Structure 1
Amino acid sequence: METNSYSTVPVTQTAAPVLKRASLVRRHRGLVFALLSILLLLFSLTMAFHAFVAYTLARPHIDPLKSNPMKAFGAAYENVQFPSLNDSSQLSGWYIPAAATAATASETSRQTIVFSHGYGGNREEIWVPIYDLAKAVHNLGYNVLMFDYGYVQPQWNVTGGLRESHELLGAVQYAKDRGAEKVFVWGFSMGAGTALQAALQTKDIDGMILDSTFVLEPDTLYHNMKQTAHLPEFSQPLVHMFFPLINGVSLNQIPYQTVKETQYSMPIFFIHGKQDLKAPYEMAEGIYQQQKSDSGSQLWLLEGDGHELIYRAHKRAYLQMTTGFLQTLSSTPSAPVKYGSSR
């Protein structure tokens, strides 16, 4: 009878090292998977956060209208609607005919001031406040047009001046259609930057007053992001990347470099504070320096004032200088004249 002889080794002596290695591999794989999951989550949250920033930048909260020219300073007005120059949007506003009793009505009643409000505001521009300025020019005999940019409506978003410049040109055309022989634009913050973009495309603007000029470019975008959310520098290209994906318009389409280098055909009165934390004063100063010395342009640069706060701090001087600038241009039938340029 045959017998099979097997050499038996205890299982524990051969399998233990293999099981230990398998356990270590599983543990390492679990750690790697967990680490990759955490990194993926952080990456996704970072991307989502910057996408949200791009979304909210283009859709600021807008307060409803709180008053009107009749309630604010007793001026008769009309509710008006008009299209942007390229018919891309329909705009609403108030048209205030010139005060018939103004001493200069015969000269200025055929001239219109178009107010260009800033980012996050509407035609009332409460930061300035605009009713004081509208009253002042109305009493001097000018017609006044106050209107809302398209992004005030919920179906539209901010485009950094691309669509808004056509909307401002639509307002200028509306003033012309109402009989204005001269049109002056008075802009604030991004509304001032929009005015500069609009002025690249027309000869129908006869002069501009630009308070706290903000031109949307990568540097100013990051400047504002840093002020409000303390975001790191790598946030700038991420928001820049998401902006067109979410809002349908690229910041590269904004002609900010052209705006900064152009010699404009009309006189411009730049007003800016050196303590402006939203729109660095160096940009307005640089654009002013591009203007010809005999262009009639002027720069009023204040040492201690912030964004759109100059009127509140210097009401009398602000009104004297701005209305004086307008009246100088109003009395000039042809080419721009010199007006106190300090270089």
Structure 2
Amino acid sequence: MKRWLKLLIGILSILVIIDIIASFYFYNLAIERNTKDFLQGNADLEVSAEAMEVFTEGDWHDWVDQQDFKRWEITSFDDLKLNAYFLPAKEPTNKTVILAHGYLGKGLDMGLYGQYYYEKLGYNVLMPDARGHGRSEGDYIGFGWHDRLDYVQWVDLAVEKLGNDSEIVLHGVSMGAATVLMTSGQDIPDNVKAIVADSAYTSVEDLFAYQMKRMYHLPKFPFLTSTSIVTDIKAGYDFKEASALKEVKKTDIPVLYYHGNADTFVPTEMAHELYDNTASKTEIMIIKNAGHGEGFVVEKDVYVNKLNQFLSKYVK
């Protein structure tokens, strides 16, 4: 009996050690600020030739290069210096869009959307670098959770600089979409009139559980649970609390959801779940044949028509 007990304890000890090693590996892989080679060749992130051409060679790159962006800066609740790029509208306006980029991106990547808001809608444009990205400080990626507090500060700064009559739209893609949804449940000024969430996930836990199974064929327990504990220790948040779904259940800000029906990186079902649970006035558009974050490119006319219709209801 003692021999079997020792054997069982030995096996359990080995499994615990493997789990601990795996937890730090996955933290380094996904959360820590570093090069993310694991995304290269990921079939779920493959984009159409049409979308790839726009993302990499579209004229919006030239537009970004030609603009005289002003640098804005805030100090976060945990003392990080965070950077953003601000472009005032051609004509004075009280309308401002604050854009939120995706995982491993940077603020200027949102020039694809910023150009439309600036050229076609006449908005001021603010494009922050998320913590752990671009010129912003931070040695970890927040996946929207700590970022939600940063975006409250960006909103406050926009109102302070641009006036109390400011009308603000938050527009995010992928991780940025989750960020603006997480922000929606915070105590933010009434100046925020509308939120646009493109390709959002319900929670970090849901996203990682899905990706861990899809990419590594691993179960949620114990690896995701222990990686969440490591993330809490090293970055100050756990996967379960980092929930856009929880925040939209208490928001009163109108939300427009976009999602591609061919998105296999963040499943389309997550958009439906968010839409069904949002407490405020809500609209959703599922874009045919669009992969992750491709909607604005593959169906631009449909996308912007819906956007214009939505914004006209809530932004004067």
Q: Give the alignment's TM-score, normalised by structure 2.
A: 0.77
Partner of 1:209: 196
Residue 83 (1) aligns with residue 75 (2)? yes
Q: Report the Cα offset of residue 296 of structure 1.
A: 4.7
Q: Do 2:204 and 2:242's aligned partners in 1 also have CA atoms closer than 8 Å?
A: yes
Of 121, 126, 146 in structure 1, the residue corresponding to residue 127 of structure 2 is 146
Q: Give the alignment's TM-score, normalised by structure 1.
A: 0.72
- What does 1:1-343 correspond to in 2, within 5 Å? 43-61=16-34, 72=64, 74-84=66-76, 86=77, 88-100=79-91, 109-125=93-109, 130-139=110-119, 140-152=121-133, 153=136, 155-180=138-163, 181-201=166-186, 202=188, 203-234=190-221, 235-256=223-244, 258-259=246-247, 261-262=249-250, 264-291=251-278, 296-331=281-316
The change in CA–CA distance for 1:186 and 1:252 in structure 2 (over 3 A counts) is same
User: Separation in 1 of the partners of 2:255 and 2:244?
Assistant: 17
| RMSD over aligned Cα atoms | 3.2
Which runs of no fewer than 5 residues in structure 2 stay unpaired?
A: 37-55
Describe the SS at the equivalent of 1:120.
coil
User: Which amino acid is the alignment partner of residue 174 of structure 1?
Assistant: L
User: Which amino acid is the alignment partner of residue 163 of structure 1?
Assistant: H
User: Which amino acid is the alignment partner of residue 111 of structure 1?
Assistant: K
User: Which amino acid is the alignment partner of residue 244 of structure 1?
Assistant: D
The change in CA–CA distance for 1:155 and 1:137 in structure 2 (over 3 A counts) is closer
User: Separation in 1 of the partners of 2:150 and 2:160?
Assistant: 15
Q: Report the Cα offset of residue 113 of structure 1.
A: 0.3
User: Which amino acid is the alignment partner of residue 24 of structure 2?
Assistant: A
The change in CA–CA distance for 1:319 and 1:36 in structure 2 (over 3 A counts) is same
Q: Deviations over 1:200-235 (max 9, x none)?
A: 112342101110012334232210222333323433
What percent identity do the matched residue pairs reach? 21
Describe the SS at the equivalent of 1:150.
coil
Q: Report the Cα offset of residue 291 of structure 1.
A: 4.3
Partner of 2:51: none
The change in CA–CA distance for 1:254 and 1:179 in structure 2 (over 3 A counts) is same
The change in CA–CA distance for 1:41 and 1:317 in structure 2 (over 3 A counts) is same
User: Which amino acid is the alignment partner of residue 73 of structure 2?
Assistant: Q
User: Separation in 2 of the partners of 1:83 and 1:45?
Assistant: 38
Count, aligned residues? 284
User: Which amino acid is the alignment partner of residue 94 of structure 1?
Assistant: Y
The change in CA–CA distance for 1:296 and 1:42 in structure 2 (over 3 A counts) is closer
Q: Do 1:111 and 1:142's aligned partners in 2 also have CA atoms closer than 8 Å?
A: yes
User: Separation in 2 of the partners of 1:191 and 1:182?
Assistant: 20
Higher-Rg structure is 1
Describe the SS at the equivalent of 1:93.
strand
Describe the SS at the equivalent of 1:271.
strand
